[in-house]
Amino acid sequence: MNYKKIKTFEEYKKPYISRPSLIARVKPYIGKDIIKVFTGQRRVGKSYLLFQIGELILESKSQANIIYINMELAEFDFIRNHSDLLAYVETRLTGEQDCLFVDEIQDIAQFEKALRSLLARGGMDIYVTGSNAELLSGDIAGYLSGRSIEIEVYSLSYPEFLLFHELEETNEAFLKYLRYGGLPYLIHLSLEDPIIFDYLKNIYASILYKDVVNRYNVRNMRFLEQLVRFLADNTGRIFSAKRISDYLKSQRTNISVQVVLNYLDYLVKSYMIFSIGRTDIKGRKIFETGEKYYFEDVGLRNAIIGFRQADILQILENIVFKHLQIMGYQVTVGSFDDYEIDFVAEKPNEKKYIQVTYTMKDEKTILRETETLLKIKDNYPKYIISMDELPVSNIEGIIHMNIRTFLMAGDL
């Protein structure tokens, strides 16, 4: 095999904007004998994270040998399976300070065998990225038990969006984030509807075909697209696979509940959407039916069905959910009696209850949102997040906060 067209890491590297919060999560594992696995939807910045890590390594070890493979580039098409991967890596090893970076590793058949072999040799610092939850968490976790760490990479948070676009924190800037989302490549485009939404529609099509249709051999493309539109229309609403199936039947599309469940699972595993379940706050029971779905990126959601003023509350909820994810919380919907809490966010020994609403200027809304939270009798913090441009206030122990303040505060 002639590898002459393969360049060095430095030649492949592209300019990037640093994402310190991600790097802080990676730093403890740099140089350690453990595989670093970066997962997330396509185009959220995993490749550029590798560039940033590579520079960090070279700053501390200038002689480090970084073997870089990007499976989205044509020159790496010869790597089809684990044997090809091992054969190529063998030609690039120096035996001293070797590092392996593989971007979109799920495109290599049985890649986990190669990783286990390389790890067993010792002395190699390994980083991989991928865009399929099942493949990476399942295959790596099962085959390399205890020898890998998964770090999820999300689209830009609101503070990162401001940094990338060089914007001051204003309501106008937030409305851009609310409309266009946080995919990093948007910094190269003019923030105008026709330009941004054309780009986002292409990303949507790429995810759908590469990570859903091709991987799972999906045949009913029309239904898959209908399902994504349904999820976009019903972002943040509780529903079940049976309800979707019944709705489709009313539209003269006969799809079984099991097929709906399968297709939902494929979309979740592609990281395009996230599913969050419901828990009973009183008894901590996890409900088996009825979930909420949110998009990885609100810009993609808006590109699919259009940005509509009537959907503002759904979009706000999606943004709050993503922020909680980025902050490392496990998020569920809280239920008790006939009441619902939008988000129960938990970490070890920590919990927050969060309601999201468009405005608290209406007495009826204030009563509805506070009444639900006041019925929870534990002492964990309770928040209402809205678009109201008012100072942070306290209503009977419940903190009312503007969404921009909430997002800029980081972890409360």
* Mean pLDDT computed over 48-63: 96
Q: What is the DSSP letter of 352?
A: E
Out of 22-31, 139-148, 256-265, 316-325, least confident range: 139-148
Which residue is associated with the tokens 């976790």?
A: 141
251: number of Cβ within 10 Å? 8
Please say if the pLDDT value at position 335 is more than 60.
Answer: yes
Domains along the chain?
A: 9-152 (3.40.50.300), 158-408 (no CATH)
The predicted structure's pLDDT at residue 136: 60
pTM of the model: 0.94
Please say if the pLDDT value at position 286 is more than 60.
Answer: no
Q: 208-230: per-residue pLDDT in tens? A: 999 999 999 999 999 999 999 99
Residue 222 identity (one-letter amino acid): R
Confidence of residue 410 (pLDDT cuts 50, 70, 90): confident
Please say if the pLDDT value at position 194 is more than 60.
Answer: yes
Confidence of residue 403 (pLDDT cuts 50, 70, 90): very high
Q: 243-278: per-residue pLDDT in tens? A: 888 877 787 778 888 999 999 999 999 999 999 998
